[in-house]
Amino acid sequence: MTIQLGQIAPDFEQDSTHGPIRFHEWLGSSWGLFFSHPKDFTPVCTTELGEVARLRPEWDKRGVKPIGLSVDPVHSHKSWEEDIEDTQGQKLDFPMIADADQKVATLYGMIHPDADPTVTVRAVYVIDSNKKVRLILTYPPSTGRNFSEILRAIDSLQLTDAQSVATPVNWTPGEEVIVSPKLSDEDAKRRFPQGFRTLRPYLRYVDLEKSS
């Protein structure tokens, strides 16, 4: 199965380090960060899981629930968690799915035909509060994921859901954003009374932090 942006994230029930999880029920009305690992006791993923735990205040601030997955069983996950806490200084406080039968990995297309058929690729899915897949990333085994970028992308998604804007290249929260091309100048003036600057008819910037 190929997961595409905008589709409802497939539901599943699977065992985890926090007990059996029915995915949609576990998500509730929260956003989700669902990310997979090739297998337990891999070096790059060890650092990543520690970082996700360290970023707990950032996930909570955005209403995001993190959840990991690999094809190893729960007892292996729990042993790996001890290593992660020992080497990264962070105790994991989110569930790790034990996908020993590869049911979830197959459902989400995490096992690529040209890769090792026994392990999952290092995928990331950002899922919104309506259970829709909003962002998909796939990393090679040797490159650690940049969770600062994932947080930035979530900030953009949540902002652009709330406002008729898009975020430009290298945008970070607090910087100018782009007025949606769907808005006429008249509509934009009503929505953004603080004013906006026009570089081209299709490229208009607005400072959402600026008061009118």
Q: Give the residue with greater pLDDT, 179 vs 110.
A: 179
Task: Tell me which DSSP letter residue 193 carries.
Answer: T
Q: Could you tell me if 174 and 210 are in contact, meaning their C-beta atoms sit under 8 angstroms apart?
A: no
pLDDT digits (tens, 9 = 90+) for 114-146: 556 556 678 999 999 999 999 999 998 889 999
The pLDDT confidence band at residue 22, using thresholds 50, 70 and 90, is very high
Q: Give the residue with greater pLDDT, 154 vs 39.
A: 154
- pLDDT above 90: residue 211: no
C-alpha span between 205 and 173 (Å, rounded):
14
Pick the closest to residue 210 from 195, 198, 197, 199 (CA basis): 195
Can you give the pLDDT at residue 171?
98
Can you give the pLDDT at residue 2?
79
Q: Could you tell me if 65 and 33 are in contact, meaning their C-beta atoms sit under 8 angstroms apart?
A: yes
Cα torsion angle, 115, 148, 128, 173, sign: negative
Can you give the pLDDT at residue 68?
97
Q: Is residue 45 annotated as a catalytic residue, yes or no? A: yes
What average pLDDT does the segment 90-101 reach? 95
Q: How many CA atoms lie within 13 A of 10 on its CB side?
A: 15
The pLDDT confidence band at residue 156, using thresholds 50, 70 and 90, is very high
Can you give the pLDDT at residue 110?
83
The pLDDT confidence band at residue 57, using thresholds 50, 70 and 90, is very high
Q: Could you tell me if 37 and 70 are in contact, meaning their C-beta atoms sit under 8 angstroms apart?
A: yes
Q: Could you tell me if 74 and 98 are in contact, meaning their C-beta atoms sit under 8 angstroms apart?
A: yes
Q: CA angle 57-62-143, nearest 5°?
A: 75
Residues whose CB falls within 8 Å of the CB of residue 190, separated by 6 or more in sequence, listed in order: none
Q: Could you tell me if 29 and 129 are in contact, meaning their C-beta atoms sit under 8 angstroms apart?
A: yes
Can you give the pLDDT at residue 140?
85
**Of 45, 84, 165, 206, which is the active-site residue?**
45
C-alpha span between 134 and 114 (Å, rounded):
26
Q: How many CA atoms lie within 13 A of 39 on its CB side?
A: 6
List the domains of the chain with CATH numbers. 13-151 (3.40.30.10), 163-206 (3.30.1020.10)
CB atoms within 10 A of CB 121: 19
- pLDDT above 80: residue 112: no
What average pLDDT does the segment 172-197 reach? 96
Can you give the pLDDT at residue 114?
58
Can you give the pLDDT at residue 210?
83
Residues whose CB falls within 8 Å of the CB of residue 154, separated by 6 or more in sequence, listed in order: 31, 33, 62, 64, 126, 135
Structure tokens given for 49: 């899981």
- pLDDT above 70: residue 113: no
Can you give the pLDDT at residue 130?
97
